[in-house]
């Protein structure tokens, strides 16, 4: 079979097909990466070059004025630290709550399991909407609190079902052996299930972290105190404004009008790009194994 496939793709038509695929995928890749390269180059370019050159991937004159303005800005540095803290805490809380709900649902003898799973699937199709969610957050006293950025989306139904399926495929003999040794359900989850579930948990940790990091709607709705704004809210304000003064930025270096926008976009993007390679080895394995129906 392998020899037949090799012979088929080693023909002239197969080689032409391979060349076409390479060219097509290279073109798609360039279309995807060129905007990021332009923003990166613009963050190091002078204000004059940004306004006079419609597109470039390499600035004629390098300048770090935009990054100097960011690093000397109390507003952006505080927002960056806030976003990191909210992302780390939020990812841990959301992943922990998802695992704690997925583990009992992976037991086929759990009373009411089918009803609970039906409700979970229902929330994937129908959501309460923005206004009811806001009212719930308000009645819980979470307005102007960092918890309003974490708890409303603490458990994602899709993530819950995938992790539940992963738990369901683990060998029952391991859990039974732990229970014979005197372990309770939480100890089984912590010492047996969690260590065996690193691929799927790492995958959805990345999903949760990226979702929290990129979220600007929740801070917009729930945070009225600007000192608690996350980096995405600052990014929104910066990109929407025609220009920003040094007073608005709380910066010692006068910010360039366009360069600061590019620099803030890069600052907001780099952490996610740096985190992905460390979780990439778990990504495909976690998605494929967890998505098999158990």
Query: Is residue 118 domain-shared with residue 196, that is, in the same domain?
Result: yes
Contact 44, 59 (CB under 8 A): yes
Query: Is residue 42 domain-shared with residue 174, that is, in the same domain?
Result: no
Query: Is residue 163 domain-shared with residue 237, that is, in the same domain?
Result: yes
Query: Is residue 46 domain-shared with residue 118, that is, in the same domain?
Result: no
Query: Is residue 259 domain-shared with residue 169, that is, in the same domain?
Result: yes
* Backbone φ/ψ region at 182: left (φ over 0), alpha (ψ -120 to 50), beta: left
Q: Is residue 57 part of a domain?
A: no
Residue 69: its pLDDT value, please? 82
Residue 183: its pLDDT value, please? 83
User: Cβ atoms within 10 A of the Cβ of 252, count?
Assistant: 12
Q: Is residue 62 part of a domain?
A: no
Query: Is residue 152 domain-shared with residue 216, that is, in the same domain?
Result: yes
pLDDT tens per residue across all 294 residues of the chain: 455 555 555 677 778 888 899 999 999 988 888 888 998 988 888 888 888 888 888 888 888 888 888 888 788 889 989 999 999 999 999 999 999 999 999 888 889 889 999 998 898 888 878 888 899 999 999 999 999 999 988 888 988 998 998 888 888 888 888 888 888 888 888 888 888 888 888 888 888 998 899 888 899 999 988 888 898 888 888 777 655 555 555 555 555 677 888 888 888 888 888 877 776 666 655 555 544 444
Task: List the helix and strand counts (H, then E) for the chain.
Answer: 16, 0
Residue 252: its pLDDT value, please? 53
Write b or e for each residue in 109-136: b if 16 or more Cβ atoms lie within 10 A of its Cβ, otherwise e: eeeeeeeebeebeeeeeeeeeeeebbee
The residue segments making up the domain with residue 189 are 67-293
Query: Is residue 218 domain-shared with residue 270, that is, in the same domain?
Result: yes
Residue 293: its pLDDT value, please? 46
Q: What does the alpha-carbon distance between residue 248 and residue 189 come to, in Å, rounded to a whole number?
A: 49
CATH of residue 131: 1.10.3720.10
Residue 244: its pLDDT value, please? 53
Q: What does the alpha-carbon distance between residue 61 and residue 234 come to, in Å, rounded to a whole number?
A: 27
What is the tally of structural domains in the chain?
2
User: Could you tell me which residues come within 8 angstroms of residue 225 by beta carbon, excluding any fewer than 6 positions away?
Assistant: 144
Residue 190: its pLDDT value, please? 87
Query: Is residue 178 domain-shared with residue 142, that is, in the same domain?
Result: yes
- Calculated CA dihedral for residues 284, 286, 292, 294, nearest 10 degrees: 170
Q: Is residue 246 part of a domain?
A: yes
Q: Crossing angle of helices 113-125/74-105, nearest 10°?
A: 140
Contact 248, 233 (CB under 8 A): no
Residue with tokens 């990466």: 33
Residue 146: its pLDDT value, please? 92
């Amino acid at each position: 079979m392998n020899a037949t496939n090799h012979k088929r793709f080693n023909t002239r038509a197969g080689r032409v097909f391979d060349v076409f695929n390479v060219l097509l995928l290279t073109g798609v890749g360039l279309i995807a990466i060129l905007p990021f390269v332009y923003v990166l180059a613009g963050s190091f370019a002078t204000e004059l070059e940004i306004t006079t050159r419609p597109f470039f991937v390499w600035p004629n004159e390098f300048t770090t004025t935009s990054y100097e303005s960011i690093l000397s800005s109390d507003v952006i540095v505080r927002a960056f630290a806030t976003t990191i803290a909210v992302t780390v805490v939020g990812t841990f809380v959301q992943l922990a709550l998802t695992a704690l709900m997925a583990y009992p649902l992976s037991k086929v003898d759990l009373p009411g399991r089918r009803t609970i799973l039906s409700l979970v699937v229902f929330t994937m199709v129908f959501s309460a909407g923005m206004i009811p969610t806001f009212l719930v957050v308000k009645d819980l006293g979470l307005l102007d609190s960092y918890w309003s950025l974490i708890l409303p989306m603490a458990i994602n139904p899709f993530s819950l079902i995938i992790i539940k399926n992963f738990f369901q495929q683990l060998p029952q003999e391991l859990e039974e052996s732990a229970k014979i040794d005197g372990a309770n359900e939480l100890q089984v989850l912590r010492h047996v299930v969690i260590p065996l579930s690193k691929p799927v948990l790492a995958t959805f940790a990345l999903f949760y972290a990226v979702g929290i990091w990129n979220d600007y709607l929740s801070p917009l709705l729930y945070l009225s105190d600007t000192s608690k704004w996350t980096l995405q809210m600052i990014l929104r304000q910066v990109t929407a404004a025609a220009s920003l003064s040094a007073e608005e930025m709380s910066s010692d270096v006068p910010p360039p009008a366009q360069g600061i926008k590019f620099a803030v976009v890069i600052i907001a993007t780099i952490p996610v790009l740096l985190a992905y390679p460390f979780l990439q080895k778990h990504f495909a394995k976690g998605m494929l194994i967890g998505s098999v129906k158990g």
